[in-house]
Structure formats: C-alpha cells, structure tokens
Amino acid sequence: MEWQKIYEERKMSAEEAIKLIHSGDRVVLGHAVGVPIAITDVLADHKDDYENVEIVQMVSMGNARFAEPDMEGHFRLNSLFLGGHTKAAVKEGRGDFTPCCFSEVPQLLEETLPIDVAIIQVSAPDKNGYVSCGVSVDYTLPAARSAKKVIAQVNKQMPRTLGDTALHVAEIDSFVEIDHPVIELGLPKIGDVEKAIGENCAKLVKDGDTLQLGIGAIPDAVLLFLKEKKDLGIHSEMISDGVVELIESGVITNAKKTLHPGKTVVTFLMGTQRLYDYADDNQAVAMYPVDYVNDPYVVGQNDNLVSINSCVQVDLMGQVASESVGLTQISGIGGQVDFIRGARLSKGGRSIIAIASTAAKGKISKIVPFLDEGAAVTTSRTDVDYVVTEYGIAKLRGRTLRDRARSLIEIAHPDFRPGLVQEFEDRFHCKY
Ligand code: COA
C-alpha cells in the first residue's frame, strides 16, 4: 500500500489515539523536549478511563501532568531520570525511580520493561514516507521499534534530523497532527563561579579533542573558554546552543575525530529554536539511538575524548554523588557513567566532574568528608578522573586516598577547608 494511504487511514484525533492504551499497560513517552505533550495532556484529561497505567520516561519537559497528585491510581510514574516536574512524585511516594545508565535504556525497554504503547513525537513524513524522531532519538526510536503499539504526535515544526532517526509510517499505529514549536530550553545564567569553573575545565581541553558536555550553566561556561581552540569534535549524549556557536565560528570542525570524522554525533538535542533550526536536515549532525552513542565501547573509539559532567557531592575518597541529596532522588545517572567509562577506554581520554565548590548560596560544601547518609554513588572512586571547581583542578585517578583528599581540599571553598583539613589529619594520622 502507498505510504500516503497508510498515513491517511491512521490519522486521528488524540482522543481516538489514546484508545490504544488500556488499564494496566506500560506506556513509554518520548524523551526531554521530544515529549508528545498534546497527547499526554489529553491522556491526563481522560484519567478516569484508566487504572494503573505505568508511565516510563527519562527527562520530562513540559508539564508532566501524569505525575501530579490527582493522577494517583490512574497513572504511576516510573522515571529513569527525575527533574523539575517529576521529582516531587517520587519524593511523595506517588512515583518510582529506576536506576540505570542511559546507554542501557533501549535494552531495558525491550527485555525487562517491555512496552505496550510508545507515545512519541516525530516530524512530518518525507517523500518516501519516513518520519524523523527529530530532537530525541535516544531511547525514543528504539522504544518505538520494540513497543506493541506506537502513537505518534506528528509536529510540522519538528526538525528532520539525520543519522539513524527515522521510522516508516507503516511502523506507526496512529498519527496525531499538530503544528507547534518544539519546547525550548532557555539559555542558562552564567555567573562568575561558572566562568571560573569553565576556565579551569578548558585548561584540560587540547586542540583536536572530542567533547561530551552535559547540560546547564557549567558546560556552557566551558564553551566560552574554548574559543581559541582548534579542530574540536563532538560525540555527546546531547548538545545545546553553545555548541552551535562554536561550530559556526570554526572552533568545532570534527576534523580530527577518529570515529565519524566530520560529524557532530549526539542522541538528543535540548536548546532554543536556533539549535533545532541548525540540526534540521543537516548532514553534519548525526543522531543515533542512545545504545550506540552512549555505549562506552563506542565512546572510547574516539581518541582524546573529554567528558564534562556535574554532581551534587564528592567525598574525600573521590566518590561522586550526582543524582541524590541524601536519600532524596533529584535527577538520575543519565550518561555520566557511560561517558566516564568511555573516556577511560579512549586513547588520550579524560573525564571531568565540574562543580561549584558550594551549594545553597555558599552554605554547604560540595566537597565533603562523607557523602550524605543515603546518597547514591553515581561515579565510583575507581572511575573518577578529574574534579574541577572554581578554585582549581584535582586529578584523582591513580592517586592514593591521601593524595586524593589533599588535592580535593585544595579546590574546596576556603570557608570549608579548615574542617576538611581536620578530617584529613584525623583520618590519615598525619599533618595536612
Ligand atoms: N547539598 C544539598 N543540595 C544540593 C547540593 C548539595 N551538595 N548540591 C546541589 N544541591 C541542590 C541545589 O541546591 C538544587 O536545589 P533546587 O533545585 O531546590 O534549587 C539542586 O540540588 C540541583 O542543583 P544545581 O546545582 O542547581 O543543579 P544543576 O542544574 O547544576 O545540575 C546535577 C547538577 C548534578 C543535578 C546534574 O548535573 C545531574 O543530574 N547530573 C547527573 C547526570 C549527568 O551527569 N548526566 C550527563 C549529562 S546530561
């Protein structure tokens, strides 16, 4: 059958499309700014038609109504990465968190948490009947391939990204058309502390390196200090607007990459319309599912891979807590461990945990003798490499416990150094 006929036959309203979902189903939602919000809103409006539907998602942008208190009994969140709209649901016992590395999510959704219905957002079909997963390929494309049923929000404004991003209309059970800008993430505020961290991180970046950058003010601050570098490359779980600026100014050329030379490789995008316009139909941006992009073995095939991520606390042994404050889960593992391990496999690779030395407006040190009770260790002391604050760079990998503690104290906020020094002297039975 011609693809146009399939598409027309399966085109319907969101109200009709959600009839594919039944009580007790496990439903996966498209990721981050790819969340199919026009459909999830209608689903929330019809909550009384559903009981015990499990909603699986990683980063949830948009309103996440399915995680609100009045959804209890109808929808239950199983989050793989918490954030603004979803952390309260888990904290208040109305939702669950499943720890996992981003790279393993497609396999989990196929084998351990098989999906009844995937609700995704895609571009309009091309002339051959293929839609693109656009800004979020990550687990979204693999989940659509393994789910029993697929509902697609077809957004005329979703960029058509290239790489391995496409589904044929025949692989999708229902289409709900919308014409709406993709959710934008505002530019972060970069203050003096972030600038100092960025400058220190940039000292560890050499011409020709390939970078993975997380999200937020610190990664964007790092980019500010890379303007004099040459031939940088990108192999990252995500990129934001700052990367586009360095591509357009000729700093990022991807020319020296040992895997996918010439291409910016990512699994999802999160930024402003400028980023989405840049990625649209652009052969220079290669997007693949996350079980490829974040696979430490694949990451490690990039020589000189530098990963830059952040955390909540680092203890004096170098254990890194990135996803919880004590027992309270605030985010997730994401790609942090994937890229730290990938950087280790990379010839010439380096991994950086970049943090402000304090939290809570200077009241709390992020470098601590012990992690808060109940905190999860995201990156173990055997995987950690560099820790960077606004006060300097601590190299931990291959160093003794005593040397690690000493160099972490050197980059802690001066207000907290005396307490840390006391702990050092008690622990190691020697003068600091
Ligand atoms: N003690 C108590 N609270 C702390 C804290 C500490 N040591 N460190 C941070 N917090 C609080 C902040 O006050 C803030 O609280 P609020 O939301 O109520 O304002 C919250 O935790 C988030 O901290 P902040 O520093 O604003 O977050 P961020 O946007 O810079 O993100 C991480 C930092 C660690 C949460 C984030 O980088 C992350 O989730 N990392 C793990 C996943 C990862 O690395 N993925 C790979 C790249 S995408």
- Ligand 1, atom 17, lies closest to the CA of 84
Q: Which residues of 276-315 are buried (b: 16+ CB within 10 A; e: fewer)?
A: bebbbebeebbbbbbbbbbbbebbbbbbbbbbbbbbbbbb
CA of 259 to the centre of ligand 1 (A): 31
At 37, the amino acid letter reads I
Q: Give bridge partners of residue 326 from the DSSP assignment.
A: none
- Ligand 1, atom 37, lies closest to the CA of 310
Interval 181-239: pLDDT, tens: 999 998 889 999 999 999 999 999 999 999 999 888 999 999 999 999 999 999 999 99
CA of 312 to the centre of ligand 1 (A): 5
Interval 362-396: pLDDT, tens: 999 999 999 999 999 999 999 999 999 999 999 99
* pLDDT of 85: 87
If phi > 0 it is left, if psi is from -120 to 50 it is alpha, else beta; for residue 237 that is alpha
CA of 315 to the centre of ligand 1 (A): 16
Neighbours of 406 (CB within 10 A): 18
Catalytic residue among 54, 104, 194, 237: 237
DSSP E strand boundaries for 186-234: 210-213, 233-234
Cβ of 253 below 6 Å from ligand 1: no
For the chain, the farthest-separated pair of C-alpha atoms sits apart, in whole angstroms, at 79
Do the bridges between strand 233-234 and strand 210-213 make them parallel or antiparallel, or are there none, so unpaired?
A: parallel
Dihedral of alpha carbons 32, 299, 404, 198, sign: negative
Q: State both tokens at 150.
A: 């697929």
CA of 357 to the centre of ligand 1 (A): 12
* pLDDT of 351: 98
Q: Which of 185, 310, 413, 416 to mutate to test the pocket of ligand 1 (most atoms within 8 A of CB)?
A: 310
Cβ of 140 below 6 Å from ligand 1: no
Place of tokens 């190691």: 428
Q: Is 228 a catalytic residue?
A: no
Cβ of 371 below 6 Å from ligand 1: no
Ligand 1 atom nearest to CA at 214: 47
Q: Are 143 and 112 in contact (CB under 8 A)?
A: no
Q: Give bridge partners of residue 32 from the DSSP assignment.
A: 60
* pLDDT of 248: 96
* pLDDT of 203: 97
Task: Give, for 43, the enclosing helix (H) or strand (E).
Answer: helix 37-45
CA of 338 to the centre of ligand 1 (A): 18
* pLDDT of 87: 95
Calculate the alpha carbon distances from 62 to 5, 31, 219 in Å.
32, 11, 23
Rounded to whole angstroms, the Cα distance separating 218 from 201 reads 9
Do the bridges between strand 166-168 and strand 386-389 make them parallel or antiparallel, or are there none, so unpaired?
A: unpaired
* pLDDT of 123: 98
Ligand 1 atom nearest to CA at 333: 42
- Ligand 1, atom 15, lies closest to the CA of 360
Cβ of 335 below 6 Å from ligand 1: yes
Low-confidence ranges of the chain (pLDDT < 50): none
Rounded to whole angstroms, the Cα distance separating 307 from 236 reads 8
Q: State both tokens at 255.
A: 């020319």
* pLDDT of 187: 85
Cβ of 240 below 6 Å from ligand 1: no
Rounded to whole angstroms, the Cα distance separating 158 from 133 reads 8
